Structure 1
Amino acid sequence: MVHTLLTQARNEGGPHLRPVGTDEIEVTFARASKRPVRLSGDFDDWEGQRDGEPNMREVAPGVWSTTMRFPRNVYMEYEYFVAGKRLGDPLNPRQTPNGIGATNAYFYGPDAAPSPWLRRQRGVPKGTLTRHTLAPAELIAGTTRTLYLYRPPAPGPVPLLVVLDGQDYLRRARLDVIVDNLIAAGRIRPIALAMIASSRRDARYLEYACSDATVNLITSAVLPFAAQHLTLSTEPGAHGVLGASMGGVMASYIGLRAPEIFGRVLSQSGAFAIPFDEGHSFDLVAMDLIRYAPRAPVSFWIDVGRYEMLRDCNQRARDLLVARGYAPFYREYSGGHNYPSWRNELGDGLTALFPPA
């Protein structure tokens, strides 16, 4: 006989959500397994992938369950593990790629939903997307790099948004669709995009940990190439930079190092500090630029998940910016470190930094 919790999970397509008061939900997880199960996800910053200690209770032979509380506007990714190995959730059809070769199960709380800008609206003009291969001398890892250029369905000149990890923002965040929809709705001015692909994974810190070589790559190779193919604004500080995680702190660094070009920074879960030991971390150079460099004419949008390890350093970056006279837009969403969360924030971030002219 199938246990009631498993039947409920199968019928509801995943964990059972029950309202608690006006602000929270109680979420009951259930998984069949012959061995003890560890539940992990955004809520513990995926700690369960590393230690593997079981944290679910055996409520019947071979049935494991636990109950947790979340805010009503939560977006949560999770997985079940046995001895550090993924079990998956076969009762939840909602699955999303995690960017490292696997998928996570997920659910939205009753007050959360995917951004409406992710679906192409009927009758919305499409921008033009082209793929290019660059081989600039400024590269510090590899010899070529893919660059996607987006031309908005509007006459120029327009600001340019340089997007780090551009292949992920294009494929996983649907950035071109979001921009098409926002332009058509009159929420933002027309902008162009230069979405540069990231290098190999082992070069990520080399290129994104506040690298002047990457600043040079963007200003001396990507921007001139984009200007050859797009009709771009020449106003000082008209352009912007977008990135997530290490790309978020690198976007901030580019803005602080070249504010006369990039006067708008969108940092999503920026890694402003790097952990090196239990409870300890060190700040990256972008934090020192905020602290000690003359205040630059840069507008910041910073968002971060309330369940992230990086929440603290993003709060400190915000506080430093405010103390130095900046007026950053700051958002904490009820989620974790993932592209579905970031893409849900993009509409508001772009609206804040590229309002209609």
Structure 2
Amino acid sequence: MANPCVEKLSAGEWSPERFRRHLEETRAPLVERVTPGEVEVTFVDEPGDDTTVTLSVVIGPNIGFNPMGTEFTSVPGTPFRILTLRMRSDLRFSYVFTRCGPMADEEQIPDPFNPPPKFAECAVERFSGASVAVLPDAVPLPWLEQAEARPAPAMESAVLASELLGNERRIWVSMPRGEFSEETALPFVIHLDGTPEHSAPSVRDALVQAGLIRPCAVVLVDQLGLQRYQELLCNPAFSQMLVDELLPWLHHRYPLSRDPGDVALAGESFGGLCAGWTALHHPTTFGNAIIQSPSCGYHPDLRGGSGAGELLRSTPIPTLIADYLAAEPAPIRIFHDVGELESSNTHSRWLNHVLTGKGYDTHYREFAGGHDYAWWRGLFADALRWWLPPMAE
């Protein structure tokens, strides 16, 4: 079934200029419902001659963009190429186009008719700058929309030098509006996937203004490129740096609470793995963990093989799950979300089974998508509301 707007373009009822204006006014992709639970989604590009276009989405077996494989097809007599796919109607997902020119030079770009949202820059560069599709039955993320409409909050930036790790990194701190002192010390969340463009401070401001959470500080920790893949993987030295260096550094500069219940450690993917592991091993410092699509399947010896290598492959219990199984329940609370369509969601379900079986105060949810910032940015609001509801009057 062709999209009605594409049919008008093909039949000459709409000129290319009229079709282009429609896309700019309504935003791509074009969506038509075909059953109560399914829609046809039409992506449109205008790449120029001798250029092929393919689509990649953050849903599928790979962590990152998964190529759909099928090339866009031309709309005869126009400069446009289209690709129509049938999808679940409740999806929200990041996506990009890959253009390949006559010299086989590839360029990955966002949808020119659906620019990236405000908070599109991410700690992991390969996820940054993508367009986001929100299909008609996707769970709304109203606090992300409110955050996107707000002016950027004030942010202080400084460099933290670590003797434990032998490196230094940028730290960004966003305080809520108002005056605070040691007598009114603030709760705070440390986000391990920090960038100065992160949505967390703006989401915090929207929730505070609505009276849905207590004022809190947001601390954003920079990740140092490829060192992320060593520091965040259940690394005792990195966790100790947070306890022995970052927290004293923060308390020296800001009126922040020393009550573990007022401190949350947050992260996405490897950052979520680190947040959950660090809170378990340092519960008198971090009383809460916000883990979004955590890499629960990680174990340093868990490697796939091929051929004869399969005869040597071991399958140990992943580190985070094994440590929670082995330890006595710690006095921590855990907010945990993961995509239904992530390849690793079975590990998140396993971790949740362990946590509930051990009696942890935990909130677990699955969303209709993949390993995707398109969901994490908005569901962080739910995590803040779970962790820091307003004080009872």
The TM-score with structure 1 as length reference comes to 0.83
- Residue 166 of structure 1 is matched in structure 2 by 194
User: Aligned residue for 2:4?
Assistant: none
Residue 117 of structure 1: how far off its partner (Å):
4.5
Specify the structure having the higher radius of gyration (Cα).
Answer: 2
**Distance of 1:106 and 1:126 partners within structure 2:** 21
Q: What's the offset of the Cα at 1:267?
A: 0.6
> What is aligned with 1:103?
129
Pick closer, same or farther for the CA change 1:49–1:235 going to 2, 3 Å: closer
Alpha-carbon contact 1:39-1:48 (below 8 Å) kept: no
Alignment of 1:21-60 (within 5 A): 21-31=35-45, 34=50, 37-44=53-60, 54-56=69-71, 58=73
Give the deviation of 1:301 after TM superposition: 0.7
Matching residue of 2:219: 194
SS for the counterpart of 1:94 is coil
Q: CA deviation at 1:71?
A: 2.5
Q: Say what the alpha-carbon RMSD is for the aligned residues.
A: 3.6
8 Å contact from structure 1 (residues 9, 91) kept in 2:
no
Q: Which whole-Å deviations, capped at 9, do the CAs of 1:200-230 have from their partners, x for residues lacking one?
A: x221121000011111111001111111122
Q: What is the match of residue 184 of structure 1?
A: 209
Aligned partner of 1:334 in structure 2 is 368
Q: Which moved more, 1:29-38 or 1:158-167?
A: 29-38
Q: 1:70 to 1:80 in 2, by over 3 A?
A: farther
Pairs within 5 Å for 1:266-285: 266-274=290-298, 276-277=303-304, 284-285=318-319
Aligned AA (2:142): S
Q: Percent identity?
A: 23
The number of residue pairs the alignment matches comes to 349
* Shift in CA distance, 310/282, structure 1 to aligned 2, threshold 3 Å: farther
- Find 1:94's aligned residue among 112, 115, 129: 115
Task: Please give the secondary structure, in 2, of the residue aligned with 1:40.
Answer: strand
Cα gap change, 1:351 to 1:87, in 2 (>3 Å) = closer
Cα distance between partner residues in 2 of 1:176 and 1:217? 23
1:70 aligned to 2:88? Answer: yes
1:130 maps onto 2:156 in alignment: yes
1:15 Cα shift?
A: 2.7
Q: Which runs of 5+ in 1 are unaligned?
A: none
The farther-off stretch of 103-112 and 255-264 is 103-112
1:266 CA displacement: 0.4
Cα displacement string for residues 210-268 of structure 1 (whole angstroms, at most 9, x for unaligned residues): 01111111100111111112222233443110111100100001110111111111011
User: Is the CA contact 1:31–1:63 (under 8 Å) kept in the aligned structure 2?
Assistant: yes
Counterpart CA distance in 2 for 1:196 and 1:63 is 41
1:296 Cα deviation after fit: 0.7
State the partner residue of 1:312.
Answer: 346
- Paired residue type of 2:83: S
Q: Map 1:204-283 onto structure 2 (within 5 A).
A: 204-274=228-298, 276-277=303-304
The answer to whether the 8 A contact 2:189-2:218 is kept is yes
SS at match of 1:300: strand
Q: Which runs of 5+ in 2 are unaligned?
A: 1-7, 307-312
SS at match of 2:343: coil
The answer to whether the 8 Å contact 1:163/1:194 transfers is yes
Q: Which moved more, 1:332-341 or 1:276-285?
A: 276-285
